[in-house]
Amino acid sequence: MTNWDIQEAWRYHEGTKHPGGNLIDPWHRFNPSQQPLLFKRYPDLEPIPLALDPTPAGISALDAIAHTLPRNSEPRLPDFVSLARLLYFSAGVTKRIEYPGWGTAYFRAAACTGALYHIELYIVCQDLEGSSAGNPVPGLPAGVYHFDPADFALRRLREGDFRGVLYEAAGNAPDLSDAPLMLVYTDVFWRNAVKYQAREYRHAFWDSGTILSHSLAMSAAHRLPARLVMGFVDDRVNTLLGLDAGREAALAILGVGTGSKPIPPAPEMPPFSHAVMPISEHERVFPAIVEMHTASSLADPQQVVDWRKWAGTVEGRPLPPPDTLPFQPFSPADTPDAPLEQVILRRGSTRQYALKPISYGQFSSLLERSTRGFLADFLIPGTSLIQIFLIAHAVDGLDPGVYRYIPTADSLEVIKRGDFRQQARHLALDQDLAGDAGANLYFLVDLKGVLERFGNRGYRAAQMEASLTAGRVYLAAYAQRLGATGLTFYDDAVIDFFSPQADGMSVMFLMTVGKKARPRVIR
């Protein structure tokens, strides 16, 4: 099966729909006693401690998520301290709570379905300098490293400059040609499938996308250009990292910084010899996940080059209709200026909304800042695969109703007005959060068009763009002291609800935003 046998993507997408997808057992129940280890362990490798500089970089969250730095001739080299900050505020453990008789609950920087934290980060870099500001620290030698959030440390898997392996695997992607630092985001299948079964592969991109939204924002805060690469030879990257691709596989590469030393040719890779601690004695393989990942894999650099040629050929941004409602974003003077780091630390998935409206200014700023796009090998600047449809319940200055976002005009197309709280609850698997929120944002894609051009790997790209954008919505909401949380949904019912405008489309993500309810005080 090859990337262009697109019936596999359709089989997976249709089979993991709610309700009744034939790849999901409706009687499955998550047993917490079988929860896998939340952290990958290499018992024979010594940790390399990371030092966290808590000083804010001096940019607000709303500015950071909207800022994309282009590559230019000016070198922008990350150092060991900026790498530590990038890792901590993307995927670090930001809080621990001890529960007597149960254990420790870990809270991470970015949202994750079920708090199962199945996304791992790896570093492939040239020599990185320490920091000369404040307390100097040693630099980091060139190598391949794994990030351990629990210890806030790195473990070196390979010694030497292996950036050429990723560069060649990505078909000599221009986005990686001068990157001194490359991050690889992988998915540990069972860690999430233990609860969500075959639908885990959707969550692979939902959760790596929200982490990437933090990585891109932190890169912007440090004035480091960052470029997302989704096209690469899968086996080559997995081999570099020593992954058993039936259990853990690479999803994305992020090139960070410019002005690197010349990338050396890919060296020979000796066999990977480090022991890895099993994550569970109950581990199962879900064939549908492995089959979908294999069917969307690319086998050689030429396939990657051919795949990348389709960038920008699927446009998800609708043309403005005659009548739209213009946005009313905050003026620069009125825009909340909460530092990015502070917003990440207070971010969390909202569990209850207050039935109070948010302002149209807040909502306009949230959408406008979150959807400015990012640099990726499957897009060209100014294009997108996704369309955003929304149900507004309580937004001052906006009638309750159903709308479509028109990013080319920073405005909303009115589809129908009215109170749709009850319908919103039902679309979101009958969850009250969707009816109580100020608004629900649905990220839709012309999946037929995407698969015809990009093959099965287009499914990865569509899921990734939707979730990365949703991750920015998370940050934009918390920057304004609002709440936000992602929810799952009844796929076909969503399309029926938004049609005819949504005819033929598919849902990738649902995000809710609104005023958070204050915690109840028990006396």
DSSP per residue over 99-161, as a string?
Answer: ETTTEEEEEESS--GGG---EEEEEEES-B----SSS----B-SEEEEEETTTTEEEEEEES-
In whole angstroms, what is the distance from residue 514 CA to residue 509 CA? 17
For residue 58, what are the contacts with CB-CB under 8 A and spacing of at least 6? 221, 339
Domain ranges of the chain: 47-266
CA dist 338 to 14, 57, 232, 387, 481, Å? 41, 12, 37, 28, 9
In whole angstroms, what is the distance from residue 398 CA to residue 390 CA? 12
In whole angstroms, what is the distance from residue 178 CA to residue 180 CA? 6
For residue 287, what pLDDT is reported?
96
- Tell me which fold the domain 47-266 belongs to: NADH Oxidase (3.40.109)
Q: What is the pLDDT along the chain (523 residues), one digit of tens a residue?
A: 799 999 999 999 999 999 999 999 989 999 888 889 999 999 999 999 999 998 999 999 999 999 888 777 688 899 999 999 999 999 999 998 888 877 788 899 999 999 999 999 999 999 999 875 556 668 999 999 999 999 999 999 999 999 999 999 999 999 899 999 999 999 999 999 999 999 999 999 999 999 999 999 999 999 999 999 999 999 999 999 999 999 999 999 999 999 887 899 988 899 999 999 999 988 999 999 999 999 999 999 999 999 999 998 888 888 788 788 999 888 877 888 999 999 999 998 889 999 999 999 999 999 999 999 999 999 999 899 999 999 999 999 999 999 999 998 889 999 999 999 999 999 999 999 999 999 999 999 999 999 999 999 999 999 999 999 999 999 999 999 999 999 999 999 999 999 999 999 999 999 999 999 976 644 4
For residue 426, what pLDDT is reported?
98
Q: Do residues 343 and 57 touch, judged by C-beta distance below 8 A?
A: no
For residue 54, what pLDDT is reported?
85
pTM of the model: 0.96
For residue 523, what pLDDT is reported?
47
- Looking at residue 275, the DSSP 8-state letter turns out to be -
In whole angstroms, what is the distance from residue 195 CA to residue 31 CA? 8
In whole angstroms, what is the distance from residue 471 CA to residue 508 CA? 13
- Looking at residue 233, the DSSP 8-state letter turns out to be B
Task: With both helix axes pointing from N to C terminus, report the angle between 189-196 and 287-295 in degrees, rounded to the nearest 10.
Answer: 130
Query: Which residue in the block uniquely carries the two structure tokens 């799952």?
Result: 488
For residue 34, what pLDDT is reported?
84
What is the CB neighbour count within 10 angstroms for residue 416? 11
- Looking at residue 516, the DSSP 8-state letter turns out to be B
Query: Which residue in the block uniquely carries the two structure tokens 């990865």?
Result: 460
For residue 335, what pLDDT is reported?
84
For residue 228, which of 197, 253, 265 has the smallest C-alpha distance?
A: 253
